[in-house]
Amino acid sequence: MKPHLTPRQTEIIRLVSLGCTNYEIAEILNIAENTVDNHRVRAMEALGTDKAVLLTRLALKYRITSLKDELTRSEKRKSGRRNDGWN
C-alpha cells in the first residue's frame, strides 16, 4: 500500500533520489531550504523511515522515480548540476 504523500513531498523525494541536496532542491522549486527539509522530514515519516539513505529505495519501490529518471534540463539549470544522481 502506497503511503499518502503530498505532491510537493513527492517532488522532493524524487529530487532527493536523484542526488540533489536540500539547497539544490530549494533552487529548483524556488522555495526556502528549510521548507525543503520540512517536506522531506514529513515524507520520511509518511514512508515510515528515519533514514535518509532509504529514500531512494522507497522512491523506487513506490514508483516516485525509476532507474531511467533524470533531472530535466530546467532542473539541471536551476540547480547548477550537469548530471543527476544516476550518472
- Judge residue 8's burial from the number of C-beta atoms within 10 Å of its C-beta, 0-12 exposed, 13-18 middle, 19 or more buried: middle
Residue-wise pLDDT for 35-81, tens only, equals 999 999 999 999 999 998 899 899 999 999 999 998 998 998 998 87
Q: Which grid coordinates belong to 39?
A: 517536506
CA–CA separation, 6 and 71 (whole Å): 20
Q: Is residue 85 part of a domain?
A: no
pLDDT at 13 over 50: yes
pLDDT at 86 over 80: no
Q: Which one, of 18, 24, 37, 34, lies nearest residue 84 by Cα?
A: 18
Q: Is residue 78 part of a domain?
A: no
Instruction: Indicate the number of domains in the chain.
Output: 1
Domain with residue 68: its CATH number is 1.10.10.10
CA–CA separation, 76 and 25 (whole Å): 10
Q: Which one, of 18, 17, 37, lies nearest residue 26 by Cα?
A: 37
Structural domain of 48: 7-72
Q: Is residue 32 part of a domain?
A: yes
